[in-house]
Amino acid sequence: MAIIKKVKGINPVFGKNCFLADNAVITGDVIMGDDCSIWFSAVVRGDVHTVRIGNNVNIQDNATIHCTYKKAPVNIGNNVSIAHNAVVHGCTIHDNVLIGMGAILMDHVVVESNSIIAAGAVVSKGTIVKPGSVYAGIPAKKIKSVDVDLVEGEINRIANSYNMYASWYSSGTKAMKDKSME
């Protein structure tokens, strides 16, 4: 069962049909929408500020979501994938976004809709990623625009795949519980 901790009297709140891996950690003032998943060893800390997560969001293995005390909350829109080992800190991510493996987003970054942050990119404090952009590098810069193939082939494909993967675990867990109750 995931590690879910109350902080300063505030419990995380989860929408419908969410998958939380056994060793995922979710603490404090976190509100998550429907059809989300938080994967193995991922950490979502709403201890020093708020974390708001929309619908159909997947936070993959070892990703860290955190804020800056009283200065920078985290807001994540709908249909967002945050890949393995990414760090999302005190920033805003709009709808239909892919954050690549190992990417780092610093405080007050805004990633507008239909954008991709490439694997390993470091998005510096206060950067505004315009809609439909692909950012890569250290520090991250726009390298191209997102076309329809990238939206369908990457952003939507990954978000939808993680709902399918989560269903595999949910079904397995339910089946084991049902069997043990016999």
pLDDT in tens, 66-125: 999 999 999 999 999 999 999 999 999 999 999 999 999 999 999 999 999 999 999 999
pLDDT the model gives residue 175: 29
The Cα–Cα gap between 33 and 46 comes to 15
| Structural domains of the chain ordered from first start | 3-180 (2.160.10.10)
The Cα–Cα gap between 135 and 180 comes to 49
Asked if 32 contacts 12 with a C-beta cutoff of 8 angstroms, the reply is: yes
The mean pLDDT value for 138-155 works out to: 94
Asked if 43 contacts 25 with a C-beta cutoff of 8 angstroms, the reply is: yes
pTM over 0.85: yes
- Look up residue 28 and give its two tokens: 């404090």
Asked if 135 contacts 121 with a C-beta cutoff of 8 angstroms, the reply is: yes
Q: Is the predicted pLDDT of residue 172 greater than 50, yes or no?
A: no
How many other β-carbons are positioned within 10 Å of the β-carbon of residue 168? 10
Report the Cα–Cα distance between both ends of the chain, in Å, rounded.
Answer: 21
The Cα–Cα gap between 131 and 121 comes to 17
pLDDT in tens, 42-60: 999 999 999 999 999 999 9
pLDDT in tens, 58-80: 999 999 999 999 999 999 999 99
The mean pLDDT value for 22-26 works out to: 97
Mean pLDDT of the chain: 92
